[in-house]
Structure 1
Amino acid sequence: MDKISIGSKPLLYPLPAVLVGSNVNGKPNYMTVAWSSIVNMAPPMVSVSIGHSRHTLKGIEENNTFSVNIPSTKQIAETDYCGIVTGAGDDKSALFESFYGKLKTAPMIKDCPMNMECKVNRTIDLGSHVLVIGEIIDILVDLDCTHNGIPDITKIDPMIFSFPQNDYFQVGKHIGKAFAAGKSIKK
Structure 2
Amino acid sequence: MEKVNIGPQGFTLPMPQAILGTHIEGRPNYMALGWVTRVNYSPPLIGIGVHKGHATHQAITETGQFSINFPSTEMVNITDYVGLVSNKRVDKSELFDRFYGELKDAPLIKECPLSLECKLYETVSLPTNTLFIGEIVGTWCEERYMTDGVPDISKIKPFVLTMPDNRYWEVGRCVGHAWKAGKALKK
Shorter-chain TM-score above 0.5: yes
Q: What is the correspondence of 1:1-187 to structure 2 with a 5 Å cutoff?
A: 1-9=1-9, 11=11, 13-187=13-187
- Deviations along 1:136-166, whole A, 9 cap, x unmatched? 0010012100001000011111110010111
Name the SS of the counterpart of 1:77 in structure 2. Answer: helix
Task: State the shift of 1:89 in Å.
Answer: 1.0
Q: Aligned to 1:95, what secondary structure does the other structure show? A: coil
Shift of 1:186: 1.1
Report SS of the residue matched to 2:82. Answer: helix
CA drift of 1:2 comes to 2.1
User: How many corresponding residue pairs?
Assistant: 187
CA distance in 1, matches of 2:53, 2:27: 18
Unaligned runs of 5+ in 2: none
- With 1-10 and 76-85 compared, the bigger mean Cα shift is at 1-10
TM-score (norm 2): 0.97
Determine the C-alpha separation between the residues in 2 that align with 1:138 and 1:61.
20
Instruction: Show CA shifts across 1:48-94 (max 9, x none).
Output: 10001111112111110000000001000010001111011111222
Q: Give the CA deviation at 1:171.
A: 0.3
Deviating above 4 A after TM superposition, structure 1's stretches of 4 or more consecutive aligned residues are: none
Are 2:16 and 2:35, in contact at CA under 8 Å, matched by a contact in 1? yes
Q: Report the secondary structure of 1:101's partner residue.
A: coil
**Distance of aligned partners of 1:50 and 1:143 in 2 relative to their CA distance in 1, 3 Å threshold:** same
Question: Separation in 2 of the partners of 1:30 and 1:10?
Answer: 28
Greater shift, 3-12 or 56-65, is seen at: 3-12
Separation in structure 2 between the aligned mates of residue 172 and residue 13 of structure 1, nearest angstrom: 14
2:102 alignment partner, SS class: coil
Q: Quick one: percent identity of the two aligned structures?
A: 41
Distance 2:68 2:99 in 1: 13
> Residue 10 and residue 21 in structure 1: after superposition, are their counterparts in 2 closer, same or farther (change >3 A)?
farther
